[in-house]
Structure 1
Amino acid sequence: MAARVPFIAGNWKMNPTSVEEAISLAKAIADGKGSSKAQVAICTPHPFLAACKPHLDKGGIDLGAQACYFEQKGAYTGATSTSMIRSVGAKHVIVGHSERRTVFHQTDEMVNQIIHKVLADNMLPILCVGETKEEYESGLNTQICAIQLAKGLKGVSKEDAKKVTIAYEPVWAIGTGLVCDASVAQDVHKFIRGWLANMYDQETADTIRIQYGGSVTPDSVDELMSKPDIDGCLVGGASLDPAKFTRIMNFK
C-alpha cells in the first residue's frame, strides 16, 4: 500500500436539512482533519457544494458530489451535469451508489456512461460496487462485484482507470449498523485488485485505490485500514458526526 495514499470520503447523503447546518458541519470536519495522513473528501448534497467549499478548503479537504447525469445540458429536469458541479469546485463524484441503483433505478449502463462523462470532464469518480444480503448469503459477493466492475468500467482505458477509486460497499452493511468483518472485506478487496490486474495489468491494479464502505465507525476503522488492500473508507452516517469522522480521518 506504500504507493497508495489512503482516501477517506464522507457521503452526507440527503443531510443535513439547511445550508446553515451544512456550513457548520463542514467547518467542524475541517477543524478535525489535523495531521491526518489520508486524503479526505466530503460529498455534500448539490445545493450545499458551493457554500461548503471554502470551509473545507481551509482544512485541506476536497469537495465531492454524490451523483450526476451523463448529459452535459438539455431538457433533463432535476438532473445535474458534471460541468455544473465542477464549476462550483467539486473534484470527486460518487457513481453507482447502491441507493442510486435501487431507489432511483440507475442501471449498469447508466453507471458506465456517467463514469465516462466524469472522466471526460477531468473529475475523479468513486465507483461503488457491492452485493445484497441475499447475494452475500449465497456466496456471490465476488461475482456481483466482478459483474458491476466489468459493466461500470467498460471502455475505460488503463490511463483513465488509474483516476477511478473503487468503493466496495456491501449493500447489507450500508446504514444498518452491520459491518462486514475486516478479514472478509480484505478478501473482497484482494479479489477486486486481482480482477483489475486481469482487466488491465498489475501496475494499474496496484495504483487504483479501493475503499470500504458500509457503517464504518471509529471502532471499526483501525482494523479495516490495517488490511493491505483496503486503501480508505467511504463513510455515511458517521460523516455527519464531526467527532466520529475526525477519529475516522485520523485512523491509527
Structure 2
Amino acid sequence: MSKMLTKRNVIPDATRSTATDLRVQRLLTSEPVLISNCRILTLIDHPSREINQQLRAALQSSQQPVLKFDEGDLRLTPVDFASLLSRRLTNALTGVSRAAVSRLVIVYSPRWSGECRLPADAQRIRIAHRQIRDLLRIVYDQETADQVQIIYGGFVFEEELADVLCDSNVDGVLINK
C-alpha cells in the first residue's frame, strides 16, 4: 500500500487573521522549507471583493499572503477550471501591483484530492498549476508570474511526488511533518 503525504489541517477552510506556518517540499532530495507568518485567504469560499481587501491588507503587513484556491467538490475540466480561475483570481488581484503580487504564494488545494484518487490526477495537478501561472502571465507579465510561488496543497502519493515536483509550474507540495 502506498504511503500518502498529507496536509490535513495545514490550510484551514476559513480566512485566518492569525499567522500560521507552512512546510513545503520543493525537491525530492531536500528538506522541507518553512514559510513563516502566513495569512491564509481562501479564494473559493469568500467573495472576491472581500479577498481583494484582505489580500491588500496582508500585503501591507509583515504577513506572508497565501491565496488558497479550491475548485470545489467537482473535478473540473481544464476549460471549466480556467474559467473559474480567471474570474476568481483576476477579481482577487484587482489593483494589486506587480511588486506586491510577486510576494504572493498561491496554494492549489482541491477538495477532491482527499477522496478517490485517479491515475490522471498528477496530470490534472500539473495542468491546474500551468493555468494559474498562465493567468498571472496574462494579468501581469512573465517575470512576475515566475516570481509567484504556486504550491500544491492536496494529497500526494509518494510515487506521484516526483511527477508533480518535476513540473516547472509546481514550486512545491505542502506537507505536514
Tell me whether the two structures share a fold, i.e. TM-score over 0.5.
yes
Q: Measure how far apart 1:144 and its partner are.
A: 1.0
1:22-171 alignment runs, 5 A limit: 36-41=30-35, 62=36, 91-96=37-42, 101=45, 106-134=46-74, 136-137=76-77, 139-171=79-111
More contact order relative to length (CA 8 Å, sep ≥ 6)? 2
Of 117, 134, 138, 1:178 maps to 117
Aligned residue number for residue 222 of structure 1: 162
Structure 2: runs of 5 or more not aligned: 1-6, 13-20, 24-28
More strand by share: 2
| Greater Cα radius of gyration, structure 1 or 2 | 1
| CA distance, structure 1, for counterparts of residue 79 and residue 135 of structure 2 | 17
More helix by share: 1
| CA distance, structure 2, for counterparts of residue 126 and residue 189 of structure 1 | 15
Q: Measure how far apart 1:120 and its partner are.
A: 0.8
1:131 counterpart SS class:
coil
1:228 counterpart SS class:
coil
Q: Measure how far apart 1:133 and its partner are.
A: 4.1
Q: Measure how far apart 1:176 and its partner are.
A: 2.3
**TM-score (normalised: structure 1):** 0.54
Identity %: 26
The 8 Å contact of residues 78 and 127 in structure 2, kept in 1 or not, is answered as: no
* Correspondence 1:194 to 2:134: yes
Across the aligned residues of Structure 1 and Structure 2, the Cα RMSD in angstroms comes to: 2.8
Aligned residue number for residue 250 of structure 1: none
Aligned residue number for residue 149 of structure 2: 209
**TM-score (normalised: structure 2):** 0.74
Residue correspondences, number: 156
